[in-house]
Amino acid sequence: MEYKNKHVLAPMVRVGTLPFRLLAAQYGADITYGEEIIDHKMIKCDRHINEYLGTTDFVERGTQNVVFRTCPEERNRVVFQMGTSNAVRALTAAQLVSKDVAAIDINMGCPKSFSISGGMGAALLSKPELIHDIITTLKRNLDNTITCKIRLLKSSEVTVELARRIEKAGVSALAVHGRRVPDRPRDPAKWDEIADVVAALSIPVIANGDVFEYEDFERIKGATGATCVMVARGALWNASIFSPSKSSWEDVKREYVRQCILWDNDVKSTKHTLKEMIAHYSSLELPEGKAVIKSANTENVALDESDQQLRIHSPPL
Catalytic residue numbers read 110
Which DSSP string do the residues of 218-270 spell out, in sequence order?
A: HHHHHHH--SEEEESHHHHH-GGGGSSSPPPHHHHHHHHHHHHHHTT--HHHH
Q: Cα(253)–Cα(138) distance, rounded to whole angstroms? A: 37
Q: Where are the beta strands (DSSP E) in the chain?
A: 6-9, 31-33, 37-38, 45-50, 55-60, 66-70, 78-83, 103-108, 145-152, 173-180, 205-208, 228-231, 301-304, 309-312
Nearest residue to 100 (alpha-carbon basis) of 30, 50, 159, 63: 50
Q: Cα(243)–Cα(167) distance, rounded to whole angstroms? A: 31
Nearest residue to 258 (alpha-carbon basis) of 294, 202, 305, 220: 305
Residues present in the chain in total:
317
With contact defined as beta carbons under 8 Å apart, do 196 and 178 qualify?
no
Q: Cα(154)–Cα(156) distance, rounded to whole angstroms? A: 7
Q: Cα(207)–Cα(213) distance, rounded to whole angstroms? A: 15
Integer angstrom CA distances of residue 71 from 8, 56, 132, 168, 250: 18, 6, 31, 33, 26
User: ∠ CA(254), CA(258), CA(264), 5° rounding?
Assistant: 140
